[in-house]
Amino acid sequence: MIRAAAVTAAGLVLAAGTVIAVNAYDRQRAESAPDQQAPRCDGAGLLARADVRGSLRGNTKTQVLLTNNGRNACVLTGHPRLAGVAGSKVVPLQASHGTYFGDPQPLDVVPPGATAAFYLTEGGTCADAPGPTRWPELRITLPNDTSLRLATGFDTRCGIAVSAFGRPD
Amino acid sequence: MRSRVTWSLGMALAVLVAAAVQLGSAAPQSAAWPVEKHRGVDSCANESVSRMQNLYTHSPYGTYGFYVGGLTVNRVCPNHASFHTKAWADAVKRQGWNLQPIYSGRQPSCLGSPSYPISSNTTTAFNQGVADGRDAITQAYARGISGPLWLDIEGYVANGLSCQPATDAYTKGWMQTVAANRAYITSLYASYPNVIRAASWPVAQRPYQVTVPHWNNVPGVYSGLPNLPRSYWVNHQRGHQYRGGHNEVWNGQTYLVDNNCYDQIVHGNTVHSTYNPCLQ
């Protein structure tokens, strides 16, 4: 009776403390925890695409989706590093951590075929900003120092910010 | 760090009567809301009541902007509108906060690729504004919010002229609908060109007060908004968003906010001490 009530109340936790996997992310997380034996995600195994969500009070939110195209799960934590790419020109960008839109829900392990995300925000109402600041392409560097490209126009005139990696909205 | 006094109805009446003659704007229909001459923040985050208390106690801010609803809000800040219930609003007002309720519905079609664009047909756009105005009132009322209600129209630059008529039609539909409800005061958050055009609209469709984004870190609602003519929106009808999204740490807790100065009516029952840089 007590055990049943505990299961009902907690929803996800058994009396023994075992986490019930509710989807692919959680299942992979449960299998990988606690030592996160999966390797860190590599740029070569991810496919990036931009999902522009919209703007509020001058802050534009782009959700960058990173799909694991590899055959194995990988670990993706921390924040990305960014560089603006225009032809052969690659310029590291100073992106602050923490966006107006917060961070996505935490995600440690990305199963094969699953998608992780981070938020990228740009502002559009700054004053007297120097140019040029429009980049046709972004280079995203992952915590393991590998990178991948995202072909999307991006304006850094008013500064940019990135969230931590997490689950897509 | 911040002092406040109980709002006096007499003070409100004096201010609002004076405001009624400016720009030919219709006077606010009630005198139940304070003119805030202070600083504040807005946020897309879902801040708990305890974190709001921490922010109020340890920061210099007196007004908090949050989103009451709208299609864009639901897409960009998931669960934000549903998080901010009447119970939440009542609790933070008891802490001393005044509120800046914001509605973000459809957006200009030339603003990148908005998920919910305003129709390019001006008649349809006006009707979309009417529908969103009704929804804004419904959402605000459900949270116990009366008084000023802001429509968020995001700035557009590239190909802007192509969507200007439809954007104006949408905004007019929203303003006219909200103004028709005497519990609410029409307020517009938009960039310079939109706000300046709106100053010449018919009274029934003209926002009573405006907030303009200009991220120059100059707080003043006049000196900080050099492109807004000083003769527009002059009688406690201006707000200035002077810094965009960033982190601030207060008493060890991090908040993701924009910064605003107010010299305008907000929702709440606290009058905070005047912060003079906002009025310059």
Give the pLDDT confidence of B33-44 residue by residue, as tens digits.
Answer: 889 999 999 999
Interface contact B76-A55, CB threshold 8 A:
yes
Predicted confidence (pLDDT) per residue in B195-236, tens digit: 999 999 999 999 999 999 999 999 999 999 999 999 999 999
* pLDDT exceeds cutoff 80 at B105: yes
Query: Which amino acid makes up residue B244?
Result: G
Task: Report pLDDT for A73.
Answer: 96
Task: Report pLDDT for A10.
Answer: 36
The minimal CB distance from B44 to the residues A101, A126, A161 is found for: A101
ipTM surpasses cut 0.95: no
The minimal CB distance from B245 to the residues A52, A59, A128 is found for: A59
What is the least distance, in Å, from the CA of A125 to any CA of chain B? Answer: 5
Interface contact B256-A159, CB threshold 8 A:
no
Q: How confident is the model at residue A13 (pLDDT cuts 50, 70, 90)?
A: very low
Q: How confident is the model at residue A133 (pLDDT cuts 50, 70, 90)?
A: confident
* pLDDT exceeds cutoff 70 at B69: yes
Give the DSSP H/E element, type plus range, for residue B117: none
* pLDDT exceeds cutoff 50 at A83: yes
Predicted confidence (pLDDT) per residue in A25-66, tens digit: 655 555 545 445 799 999 999 999 999 888 999 999 999 999
Interface contact B241-A125, CB threshold 8 A:
yes
Instruction: Dump the DSSP string for B5-39.
Output: EEPPHHHHHHHHHHHTTGGGPPPPS---SPEE-SE
Task: Please give the order of strands across the beta sheet that includes A160-162.
Answer: A46-56, A59-68, A115-123, A160-162, A95-97
* Residue A18: alpha-carbon gap to chain centroid: 27
The A-side interface with B (CB below 8 A) comprises 52-61, 96-102, 121, 123-128, 158-159, 161, 169
* A vs B: CB pairs below 8 A: 101
What is the least distance, in Å, from the CA of A76 to any CA of chain B? Answer: 22
* pLDDT exceeds cutoff 60 at B13: no
Residue B279 near residue B67, CB atoms below 8 Å: no
Q: How confident is the model at residue A153 (pLDDT cuts 50, 70, 90)?
A: confident
Q: How confident is the model at residue A9 (pLDDT cuts 50, 70, 90)?
A: very low
Quick one: closest CA in B to A102, which residue?
Answer: B45
Question: Who has greater pLDDT, A17 or A69?
Answer: A69
Mean pLDDT of A131-146: 88
Least confident of A24-28, B8-12, B269-273: B8-12
Please state, rounded to an integer, the average pLDDT across all residues of chain A. Answer: 81
Task: Report pLDDT for A2.
Answer: 37
Residue B102 near residue B67, CB atoms below 8 Å: yes
Please state, rounded to an integer, the average pLDDT across all residues of chain B. Answer: 89
Residue A45 near residue A70, CB atoms below 8 Å: yes
* pLDDT exceeds cutoff 90 at A78: yes
Residue A109 near residue A32, CB atoms below 8 Å: yes
Task: Report pLDDT for B229.
Answer: 96
- Cα B14 to Cα A165: distance, rounded to the nearest angstrom: 52
Q: How confident is the model at residue A5 (pLDDT cuts 50, 70, 90)?
A: very low
Mean pLDDT of B141-167: 87
Task: Report pLDDT for B4.
Answer: 53
Task: Report pLDDT for B185.
Answer: 96
Mean pLDDT of A137-149: 95
Q: Report the percentage of chain A scoring pLDDT > 70.
A: 75
